[in-house]
Chain A
Amino acid sequence: MEQNNPMSQPPSQSRFDRPPVIAPGHSFGSITDKISSIVLRKDTPKGWILGFGIAFIFVMMMMYAIAWLLMWGVGVWGLNNPVAWGFDITNFVWWVGIGHAGTLISAILLLLKQEWRTSINRFAEAMTLFAVACAGMFPALHTGRPWFDYWLMPYPNTMALWPQFRSPLVWDVFAISTYGTVSFLFWYVGLIPDLATLRDRTEHKGLKIVYGLLAMGWRGSAKHWFRYETAYLLLAGLATPLVVSVHTVVSFDFATSVIPGWHTTFFPPYFVAGAIFSGFAMVLTLAIPIRKAYGLEDFITMRHIENMAKVMLATGLIVAYAYVMEVFFAWYSGNSYEKFLAFDTRPKGPYWWAFWALWTCNIAIPQLLWFKKMRTTPWILWILSIIVNIGMWLERFVIIVTSLHRDYLPSSWGMYDPTKYEYMLFFGTIGLFVALLFLFIRSLPLISIFEMRTLLPEASVHHKEEH
């Protein structure tokens, strides 16, 4: 660090005229106090109870929708013959995409030494985990006989049958389960030093034991730190390809098929960009209110907010390019089915509203991010991020439903009208996601304490030398 007076001049301000990654005036102690107090405070804030309560009602609604589904069959949804996938896979892809920002922030930005990631990586990773949990529910429940879902796993069995390895759904099983596992390990390993901090600071005996067990005997010795750094870097290395591979595999569900609108070679990069786009939108959707509610403006600064907005703008442009190219390819290929889809079914067919809403949400509105004012006004950014979330959901809906409802033979064309059970399950998973986040905020440090401390000038070797 070049700044020798951190109290009066934020780091890097002089060079880039950017807000700092940590507000001035903090010490090691104040960071630890501030973050751990959110978890260790004795009284649960009323706002937390209210928020969690509402989310919990949605979880109950989800349980009801699942029970009804298991009782009667997947027919309680509005799926039918041409449109055999609807909300189920739309939601699945949407949730998986949301998870991507967490992995990108924690792994890739770590490897790229983007230290501004530090204050948002923890809850972005938690978000990834919870999003993957929500995502996993849909493919598991959407099958006709969910009690046989385990047949998709390769396991030795008396039927001497393996899954069909050519099927992208089997690739999905591997991709999602790997993703879930690595994300969990990465998140957990990153938590260990902080768990030890909590163990040391809590006064509650029971919690001491719980945090103690979870901290796995962390004492903060140099050896521990050495091992920890190595493991964390390795996991980051493992997680990095997943950012690209998971959504690539998910896109194969569509790209390997023969259905116009699905059968598209550029789906993998398009899906990955879309995933990061939606992931950052979701991180913003969560970070902006959390930072406000818990007074974390010092740790999640404007610099973070603006950086995330920039990533959104960049990935949004990739997505916009993909949308345009999809139409161009349809025209350029001369394939009449593709052309009909791109120029007739999607913009003019019965789901025209979804198509145009998608272009509005994902192409038109994100262009506002070119303006610094928009990137740095939290409430505007928050609304923008929600619009992008909606847009990304619509993208999957348009890809899945409009492609299926009118494919090759006009005689088989149909319509898809989602039922209340699909809405209940979808909003129920949002409830689950929020409920899990509330639990996470209350029980674990939502910002990495020890990594935040490294951001302080005092942590810098040069800083010490100068004193």
Chain B
Amino acid sequence: MADNTRELDLDTFRTRFDQKAERSHWMSLHELGDEESFFASVSEEFPQQAVPLNDGVDRRDFVKLMGSSLALAGLSACTVPQEKIVPYVRQPENMVPGKPLFFATAMTLGGVATGVLVESHMGRPTKIEGNPDHPGSMGATDVFTQASILGLYDPDRAKTVRHLGNITTWTNFLGALGTELKPLKDAAGEGIAILTEHVTSPTLGAQMKTLLAALPKARWHQYEPHGRDNDLEGSRLAFGGAFASTWYAFDKADVVVSIDADFLASGPGSVRYARDFMSKRRVRRGTSSANRLYSIETMPTPTGTAADHRLPLKPSEIEKFAFALGGAFGVGPGASLGSEHDAWLKAVAKDLESSRGRSIVIAGPEQPAAVHALAHAINETLGNTGVTVFHSDPIDAAPAIGRESLRQLSADMAAGKVRVLLMVGVNPVFDAPADFGFAAALDKVPFRASLSLYFDETAELCHWHVPQTHYLESWGDARAFDGTTSIVQPLIAPLYNGRDAHELFAILTDDANMPYDIVRNYWKAQKPGLDFEASWNKWLRDGVIEGTALTPRAMPVALGAIAPSNRSGDVEVSFRPDPAVYDGRFANNAWLQELPKPITKLTWDNAALMSPATATKLGLVGDRGLPGEGNEQNLHLWSRRAPVIEIKHGSRALKVAAWVVPGHPDGAITLHTGYGRTRGGSVASPKEKAKGGGFNAYALRTSDALGYAVTQVVIAEGDYQLACTQLHHVMPDDRDIVRSGTLEEFTKNPALAEVHEGPHSGEMSLYPKWESETGYKWGLAVDTTVCTGCNGCVIACHAENNIAIVGKPQVMMGRELHWMRIDTYYKGSMKSPEFSVNQPLMCQHCENAPCEPVCPVEATSHSTEGLNEMTYNRCVGTRYCANNCPYKVRRFNYFQFADWDTESLKLMRNPDVTVRSRGVMEKCSLCVQRINAARIDAEREGRRIRDGEIRTACQAACPTQAIVFGDVADPNSVVSKLKAEPHSYRVLEEVNTNPRTSYLGAVRNKNKEIAG
């Protein structure tokens, strides 16, 4: 410190950082600082940092250092958490290189847990699987869970504590917080506000309880942009003021009426619900009955596509429908629906009536409380409660109506009542209702801090930002939809020195324990009579704490005065969480961004989704033509030049690109939230407009119109590019690609073949028949009846097979690399499709594969067990195979798409799968790495591979078990039995490709009383 000029000149560096902030992201201080003097100053200022060896290294020391560096280089990746974590099956003392371990933990979304098993290679979590023992998973997962592994390794995550945007330390934060809190603590916590997501964690709930007991005037707020507010309010309306959680047993229901609920693909418990629901409609030879689903919804959802009858209604009409349905059972004030849908309603009511005690009426989370209350009352009337519908105490640690909670907080802040605001895992500046003026009110809080994964919109307006740990890095606990509690255990030490809510709140209550001890101590106190260590290990291993499911309670319905909201208009805009980025929290997850959304197949953006008739009415068609009418090119033209509209809701307006969705009701627009991010990572808010980013629907969403808003729409200037992966939905009539029919048709004509099969020569060939040397013949069967098109398989495949992301401009060019896609075809006209069929399509592993003989270098060849194999390092890239593939499932690396440079992404990759280079072809391998792992196990044990022992990534993730892999040479295997079903068919069989993948035709259980 002799030299005064070496003092830390913060202003200079601040200026420099500001200039550098032009860059989208950076790896380390070295890149940002990039000047000797800066590091010199920093090391002077913070002498605890390691002193670099800058001189005096002789040759021997150098060699020693290099040697140990090399030896340790490999270890840097393997930062196992310090605390003892317990693997799911195998004991950790023998970590065998190349052998993954599986650990049970749980991921939460909106506070509700889905149990998962995390595959860990030498300390690196690489893949998420569902936990079969967890009631919310049953071994399957949804897209968010699958993609969360990328969230962990996301290079854009916040990496350091920041104060006013500058890098600082956790200790500094604690110091500043302590100073700020001291006077407030003396005043019983007056002026302290905490904002979290919905919390189900018992430990966190207990911590908050302690905190609020010590500081009774402190305020705890909870908010979720797509939370369970309406469910909770509805339960209060229905049960005389008591909060309740409701869950369903779809495996016991014969008739399900979904009032705007996408229960098969989103929301708490959806993974489990999808499994249960589909267990009643596995149509097999001789099946003559199945459950029946009526879906009343605006935007077609996976649930809607799986429904037997789907009634597209404007948001205001849905509410009316619910009241009318209530009226049919003498519940609530009733409503008249108008002649158009009256017959439909009557038929539904009759069907429900005839299935008393075996039916479910479920209301969607965006439906107002009154509709939830009506659904509870109808279920009660039908005797479903306690049989198929269960009510219990809420799963929330402290149930709160998020909307009102945040309204209160905004008001308090605006009134200057909040002195210290701590926000944990939320981003209200982005996603709060627009009328709360949250950002403006936030400005009045003298000390505001945010703990979150990304330096997001909220972090930007806070004084302090602390990086949050990912759930794979943290300890905790969380409840599933039915209350079952899981311990969340970390798979890896925090990559970026993140902190979690437990640690932060412990500090507020002067609890010196770390999260691990906090969680343990809580559970030790909860279960006093047990051998705690043994139980703890069991809980960690199983991923669930047995006996924690909430007990269903008989809750008498006391329906108060309810009335429809009577908001309606020419154009109603309904707000829904995005099927890929949810409420915006996954906006920086490139896997999810590039995931073709169900139905629309849009990637990288949201859009104003509307029916073809509405688009025509709004005057958007212009010279683009109407998709599906006349020139089939129109959808392509829309994707290149989608019209932009301006939606006006009161004083608020939003310009957004329009997209046409068949099956959407007229006079309504659906806007998915979560897009239009301005901070939060290079993927969430790309600098270049061409890279996507979408439109911020929250700008229109006010607290009185969270579900839908009545708006005016005008055409705006310009157009916008939308990257859609499937530009054709209606196929020429004579193509036998998807087979579908009603259950009645199935009983008459089990093959469901509507089209005369083209001329094909069957097994005729000049070549000798292919025989398997090992006796195994791998094959796949897909049941399109139960496929909801939820995309879980697509992301699972992505994670398992190290598939690269190509970005929006490349998707626009048709170069996405997904090994499997979900093809959605509509039946009926584009204007009012009867229903749609989802067909997951991956490499069909043809026995006469057209791709194989055309490859000039034999880079794609046939294994003796029937796999069509790609040898990446032999591939020259002529792309002949892709041209000659009738299914067009081969994907080509037109550029170096795989990221070979980002360090954190290297940790994420599956070590059993090659990371591909530029210029090579790739495609579904039927998870050959999993086949070989099972083969090694079986050979070591001297046995055959058992049926079901190998599960492909798509199969494992599928909530409805629509995909089955197995040995088709074994007539008793599940896959062989499926292939023997009468409605099993192979796509493009007439091309004589002889594919190993077969599909079961989609069967819908139509109600004869409803036409169409």
Q: Which residues of A contact B (CB under 8 A)?
A: 72-75, 78-85, 139, 142-145, 148-149, 151-152, 161-164, 166-170, 173, 253, 256-259, 334-337, 340, 344, 349-350, 404, 407-415, 417
Pairwise interchain contact B877-A74, C-beta atoms closer than 8 A:
yes
Given known pairs A81-B892, A410-B731, A411-B825, the reply for A173 and B856 (CB within 8 Å) is yes
User: How many Å lie between the Cα of A350 and that of B639 in the bound state?
Assistant: 15
Residue of A with least CB distance to B816? A81
Q: Which residues of B contact A84 (CB under 8 A)?
A: 879-880, 882-883, 892
Q: Which residues of A contact B814 (CB under 8 A)?
A: 80-83, 414-415
Interface residues of B in 122-168 (CB under 8 A from A): none
Is B734 an interface residue, CB under 8 A from the partner? yes
Q: Which residues of A contact B823 (CB under 8 A)?
A: 409, 411-412
Pairwise interchain contact A257-B732, C-beta atoms closer than 8 A:
no
Q: Which residues of A contact B880 (CB under 8 A)?
A: 84-85, 167, 169, 253
Q: Which residues of A contact B825 (CB under 8 A)?
A: 410-411
Given known pairs A73-B919, A167-B856, the reply for A334 and B887 (CB within 8 Å) is no
Chain B: residues with Cβ within 8 Å of the partner, total of 63
Q: Which residues of B contact A415 (CB under 8 A)?
A: 636, 814
Residue of B with least CB distance to A351? B633
Given known pairs A143-B878, A145-B876, A258-B993, the reply for A411 and B854 (CB within 8 Å) is no
Pairwise interchain contact A349-B633, C-beta atoms closer than 8 A:
yes
Q: Would you list 23 pairs from A and B whose C-beta atoms are within 8 A, ordered by A residue?
A: A73-B893, A73-B919, A75-B895, A80-B815, A85-B880, A144-B893, A144-B920, A145-B876, A151-B856, A163-B858, A167-B853, A168-B854, A257-B850, A336-B732, A336-B734, A350-B636, A409-B841, A410-B729, A410-B732, A411-B728, A411-B823, A411-B824, A412-B888
Given known pairs A78-B813, A84-B883, the reply for A166 and B758 (CB within 8 Å) is no
Max count, chain B CB within 10 A of own CB: residue among A73, A85, A151, A349: A73
Residue of B with least CB distance to A413? B728
Q: Which residues of B contact A349 (CB under 8 A)?
A: 632-633
Residue of B with least CB distance to A75? B894
**How many pairs, one residue from A and one from B, have CB atoms within 8 Å of each other in the complex?**
177
Q: Which residues of B contact A168 (CB under 8 A)?
A: 854
Pairwise interchain contact B878-A169, C-beta atoms closer than 8 A:
yes
Q: Which residues of B contact A169 (CB under 8 A)?
A: 854, 856, 878, 880
Interface residues of B in 860-897 (CB under 8 A from A): 874-880, 882-884, 886-896
Is B735 an interface residue, CB under 8 A from the partner? yes
Q: Which residues of A contact B857 (CB under 8 A)?
A: 148, 151-152, 161, 163-164
Q: Which residues of B contact A74 (CB under 8 A)?
A: 877, 894, 919
State the majority secondary structure of interface residues on B: loop
Q: How far is the CB of A418 from chain B (nearest CB, A)?
A: 11
Max count, chain B CB within 10 A of own CB: residue among A80, A257, A350, A411: A411
Pairwise interchain contact B856-A145, C-beta atoms closer than 8 A:
no
Given contacts A143-B919, A163-B857, A166-B853, 20 further A-B contacts (CB under 8 A): A72-B895, A81-B890, A81-B892, A84-B879, A148-B876, A152-B856, A167-B854, A167-B856, A170-B856, A173-B856, A336-B732, A337-B735, A408-B988, A409-B823, A409-B887, A409-B888, A409-B988, A410-B728, A410-B732, A411-B726
A73's partner among B730, B854, B895 (CB-CB below 8 A) is B895
B888's partner among A81, A161, A170 (CB-CB below 8 A) is A81
Query: What string of 1s and 0s marks CB contacts (under 8 Å) between B18-53 and chain A?
Result: 000000000000000000000000000000000000
User: How many Å lie between the Cα of A118 and that of B253 in the bound state?
Assistant: 89
Q: Which residues of A contact B977 (CB under 8 A)?
A: none
Is B727 an interface residue, CB under 8 A from the partner? yes
User: How many Å lie between the Cα of A161 and that of B856 in the bound state?
Assistant: 11
Q: Which residues of B contact A253 (CB under 8 A)?
A: 880
Q: Which residues of B contact A259 (CB under 8 A)?
A: 883-884, 886
B875's partner among A145, A173, A335 (CB-CB below 8 A) is A145
Q: How far is the CB of B798 from chain A (nearest CB, A)?
A: 16
Query: What string of 1s and 0s marks CB contacts (under 8 Å) between B728-758 and chain A?
Result: 1111101101000000000000000000001
Pairwise interchain contact A408-B877, C-beta atoms closer than 8 A:
no
Query: What string of 1s and 0s marks CB contacts (under 8 Å) between B307-318 and chain A?
Result: 000000000000
Pairwise interchain contact B876-A143, C-beta atoms closer than 8 A:
yes
Pairwise interchain contact B891-A81, C-beta atoms closer than 8 A:
yes
Q: Which residues of A contact B888 (CB under 8 A)?
A: 81-82, 407-409, 412
Pairwise interchain contact A85-B883, C-beta atoms closer than 8 A:
yes
Q: How far is the CB of A305 from chain B (nearest CB, A)?
A: 40
Q: How far is the CB of A350 from chain B (nearest CB, A)?
A: 5
Query: What string of 1s and 0s marks CB contacts (under 8 Å) between B172-189 and chain A?
Result: 000000000000000000
Interface residues of B in 651-678 (CB under 8 A from A): none
User: How many Å lie between the Cα of A349 and that of B853 in the bound state?
Assistant: 30
Is B272 an interface residue, CB under 8 A from the partner? no
Is B759 an interface residue, CB under 8 A from the partner? yes
User: How many Å lie between the Cα of A414 and that of B639 in the bound state?
Assistant: 12
Query: What string of 1s and 0s marks CB contacts (under 8 Å) between B901-929 and chain A?
Result: 00000000000000001111100000000
Q: Which residues of B contact A145 (CB under 8 A)?
A: 875-877, 917-920
Given known pairs A152-B876, A258-B850, the reply for A144 and B856 (CB within 8 Å) is no
Q: How far is the CB of A157 from chain B (nearest CB, A)?
A: 11
Pairwise interchain contact B886-A407, C-beta atoms closer than 8 A:
yes
Pairwise interchain contact B886-A73, C-beta atoms closer than 8 A:
no
Q: Which residues of A contact B893 (CB under 8 A)?
A: 73, 144
Q: Which residues of A contact B470 (CB under 8 A)?
A: none
Pairwise interchain contact A336-B735, C-beta atoms closer than 8 A:
yes
Q: Which residues of B contact A344 (CB under 8 A)?
A: 732
Q: How far is the CB of B819 from chain A (nearest CB, A)?
A: 12
Q: Which residues of A contact B882 (CB under 8 A)?
A: 81, 84
Pairwise interchain contact B855-A164, C-beta atoms closer than 8 A:
yes
Pairwise interchain contact B886-A144, C-beta atoms closer than 8 A:
no
Is B549 an interface residue, CB under 8 A from the partner? no
Residue of A with least CB distance to B736? A336
Pairwise interchain contact B633-A335, C-beta atoms closer than 8 A:
no
User: How many Å lie between the Cα of A467 and that of B520 in the bound state?
Assistant: 124
Q: Which residues of B contact A162 (CB under 8 A)?
A: 858
Q: Which residues of A contact B889 (CB under 8 A)?
A: 412
B858's partner among A79, A161, A414 (CB-CB below 8 A) is A161
Q: How far is the CB of B899 from chain A (nearest CB, A)?
A: 15
Is B441 an interface residue, CB under 8 A from the partner? no
Is B974 an interface residue, CB under 8 A from the partner? no
Pairwise interchain contact B887-A408, C-beta atoms closer than 8 A:
yes
**5 tightest A-B contacts by CB?**
A144-B877, A144-B919, A75-B894, A80-B814, A412-B888
Interface residues of B in 389-421 (CB under 8 A from A): none
User: How many Å lie between the Cα of A256 and that of B848 in the bound state?
Assistant: 13
User: How many Å lie between the Cα of A109 and that of B632 in the bound state?
Assistant: 49
User: How many Å lie between the Cα of A79 and that of B815 in the bound state?
Assistant: 8
Is B934 an interface residue, CB under 8 A from the partner? no
User: How many Å lie between the Cα of A270 and that of B987 in the bound state?
Assistant: 32
User: How many Å lie between the Cα of A161 and that of B882 in the bound state?
Assistant: 22
User: How many Å lie between the Cα of A346 and that of B726 in the bound state?
Assistant: 20
Q: How far is the CB of B276 from chain A (nearest CB, A)?
A: 29
Query: What string of 1s and 0s marks CB contacts (under 8 Å) between B555-575 and chain A?
Result: 000000000000000000000
User: How many Å lie between the Cα of A82 and that of B856 in the bound state?
Assistant: 20
Is B991 an interface residue, CB under 8 A from the partner? yes
User: How many Å lie between the Cα of A166 and that of B861 in the bound state?
Assistant: 12
Residue of A with least CB distance to B988? A408
Q: Which residues of B contact A412 (CB under 8 A)?
A: 823, 887-889
Max count, chain B CB within 10 A of own CB: residue among A80, A142, A407: A80
Q: How far is the CB of A124 from chain B (nearest CB, A)?
A: 31
Max count, chain A CB within 10 A of own CB: residue among B636, B729, B877, B918: B877
Pairwise interchain contact B854-A257, C-beta atoms closer than 8 A:
yes
User: How many Å lie between the Cα of A168 and that of B987 in the bound state?
Assistant: 26
Pairwise interchain contact A258-B877, C-beta atoms closer than 8 A:
no
User: How many Å lie between the Cα of A335 and that of B759 in the bound state?
Assistant: 8
User: How many Å lie between the Cα of A144 and that of B856 in the bound state?
Assistant: 13
Q: Which residues of A contact B883 (CB under 8 A)?
A: 84-85, 257, 259, 404
Pairwise interchain contact B726-A142, C-beta atoms closer than 8 A:
no
Q: Which residues of B contact A139 (CB under 8 A)?
A: 878
Interface residues of B in 635-650 (CB under 8 A from A): 636
